[in-house]
Structure formats: structure tokens, C-alpha cells
Chain A
Amino acid sequence: MLPLEVDILEAGLGLDRFHGFQLAKALADHQGPRALTGHGTLYKALQRLEDAGLLASRWEDPAVAAVEGRPRRRLYQVTGAGEHTLAAWRARQGVARPRPRLEPT
């Protein structure tokens, strides 16, 4: 797995759902004073992980977005396969990396 993919799984693990910008912000905060991940890089990685079955995603209820007056969010969730893959990766690396923390929205 690529470092970004590992970071995404670590950030998303244990959470119910997260969206793209929330993830980008968590990754930037986790890695110190660093710029947000590029749109193309981030969403391509998310789709790659989803295609591999490590993430699942769905659009949120449009009514929720309408009430809050914002565009719909695409909500992601780490799957069981994603969790296993990350655990296997950690075992191979032999290090426990700190997880990026996601802030509630």
C-alpha cells in the first residue's frame, strides 16, 4: 500500500463515516503544519481503496445536506477487509503508527 492509503485507512478506522475534506484536514493535521492533500490525489486514492474493497462509500441523505444548506457529502467507511489489510501492513512493518485524528463536523 502507498503511504497515503495507509494514512487514509488509519484515519478512517474506528469512525462511523467521514467525507473527503474531513479526511484531507485530518491528514494535514496529523502530519504537522502541512498543506491539504490535492483533490485529484485524495479522491483517486479513495476510489482506489474503494475499488479494492477496503473502503465503502455512499451519498448522504440529500435532506440532511439541504437542511444544513450545503452540498451532499460522499461518506466513506473503512470495511472489515480494510481493517484486516491495515493490521497486516502494520504487522509487516512492525511499528504502530499513530492514527490521524478526525475532527467531528
Chain B
Amino acid sequence: MNLADRAAALVSRWVATYTRHLPAEVAERRRAEVASDLWEQRAAAREAAAPAVAVALSILRRMASGMPADLRWRQGQLAATPARSRMPPERRLLGVLAGNWWLVAAGLVGAAEVVVGARIALGDAQPVVGTGATARAGTTTGGGVLIAGAGLLLLWGIVWRRRSPGPGGVLIAAGALPAMLLWPWTVALAVALVVPLELLRPRQPGRPGTPAPSGSQADLARGIPVTALPLASLTLIGTLVGGLPLAAGLLLFGLLVAYLRRRRDHAA
């Protein structure tokens, strides 16, 4: 590899740097175009028997003189591209899941209701997980149908929410009721997780109807996990001895999250 090749490699690295996180098509076009340019320049230099040092200097000078335009071009591309489409596909999927995590959780709850309800309705007498109750054939068929129906209602609410968020949300809440009755701790857990995350979710500046959380809202959001999570863990574990360490751990975790969020807010 001579000096001209090394200079070309440096330019390629620079192009790879300033095209990062741009839409794949835009980035690939620029990389391929500059790669072609670099090849053509070196081929022309070989043909003219130009010294490698002169070619390398020319390539580096072209890179340096074009840097301000490169950066302005990048800014323009970023401004013209929605943030989500700049992500690689796998990160975009994670982003969608992270933004709709509670819908994913609701979908799992709905599916669990359908399965448990169907098993009860079909007379498959099994202890219902986490409730200590046993479903008895013949006497709980109606209840099983009701639970399975609620699960379907919840799943339909998730689908419907895309078209009508309000009614869809009501269907989800109504469909989740049996799960809350079967596993009461999920109520506390849902409140503990959903409320603070929704209240502390970063708002888009200038977007109507999305004010930053007030001080009291933030306190409420921090207070709920501090109280509800230990309660939920105690209910879940069922014993004071087993629940206390978990409760203490959750309490410390809640305090740590609140502290880190406060630091981030101050830094912002």
C-alpha cells in the first residue's frame, strides 16, 4: 500500500464517519461515489506516472477542503430524515418495542387470559398459577369463557387502538380486569411501572399537550414505586422473610432510578 492508497483509506474512514446513522441508501451512495472518485484519481495518477506523495497530498487536500461541506451535508440529511429511519432495522424494532412496551405486556396478559380461560372452560381442572385456586370442571365453565373472552377483548383493544386510541385503551383496560382479579399484585405492579414511566417519559419540546412533568407529578411518580413495588413483591412472594430482601432491593432500585433521573434532568 503506497502513500496514495493510505490517503484514500483515510478518506474512506472519514466518509464512513460522517455518513454514520444516515439512511442506508443516502450513506451508501456517498460512500460508493467517493470510493469511485478515489479509485479514478489514483488510476489517473498511475497513468500519468505522478509521484505517490503528490497524489496522497492531493487526496488529503480534497478531503480537508471538503470537510465543511461534508458536515453541512450531513446536517441537512439529518434534518430531512426522521430519527427512526436513521436507525438500523434491529434498533428500530427495539425502539418500537421500547416505545410500546406496555402494549407488549398487555398482549402477553391477554394471551395468558385466553389460555387460562380456555383451560378452565374446557374442564381441564388445574391450579391457576399464582392464585392458589383450583378450577373445577362444570362449575367454572362460564368463568373460563369470561376470562378467555376478556383476553380476546384485550387483544382486540390493542389492534383497535391503532385506529382509535381512546376506545382501544378502554377495551385493553376492560380486558385486563380478570388478570387483575386473578393476580392482584399485577395491579400494584402495573401502577408502579406504568405511572412513573409515563410521567417521566421525555417530552418532545414544543409538542402541544405534552408538558414536562411538574414537581408534584415527579414526586408522585417516585413515590408510587417506592410504596407499591415492595407491596407487590410481598404479595407475590407470600412470606415476610422472602419478601423483605426483595422489597428492600426494589426500594433501593427505585431510589437509584429517581436519583439518576434527577441528575439527568439537572444536566439537561
Contacts and interface: CB of A to CB of B under 8 A. Distances in A.
Greatest chain A CB density within 10 A among B30, B40, B41 is at B40
A43 to B, nearest CB: 6
Contacts of A22: 40
B65 interface: yes
Nearest to A47: B73
A59 B62 CA distance: 23
A39 interface: yes
Interface string A8-28: 000000000001111011000
A36 interface: yes
B41 A40 contact: no
Nearest to A70: B39
Nearest to A42: B66
B40 A70 contact: yes
Interface in B130-166: none
B41 A36 contact: yes
B83 interface: no
A3 interface: no
A71 B39 CA distance: 7
Given A20-B37, A70-B43, A39 B29 contact: no
A38 B39 CA distance: 15
B34 A36 contact: no
What is the size category of the interface that chain B forms with chain A?
20 to 34
B179 interface: no
A43 B61 contact: no
Interface in B70-88: 70-73
A39 B63 contact: yes
B62 A39 contact: yes
A44 B18 CA distance: 13
A41 interface: yes
A42 to B, nearest CB: 7
A15 to B, nearest CB: 16
B36 A25 contact: no
Contact of A38 (B30, B36, B65): B65
B104 to A, nearest CB: 40
Given A21-B44, A74-B29, A40 B68 contact: yes
A60 to B, nearest CB: 9
Given A24-B37, A71-B35, A74-B32, A39 B11 contact: yes
Given A36-B62, A40-B71, A41-B65, 4 more contacts: A19-B40, A38-B64, A39-B66, A40-B66
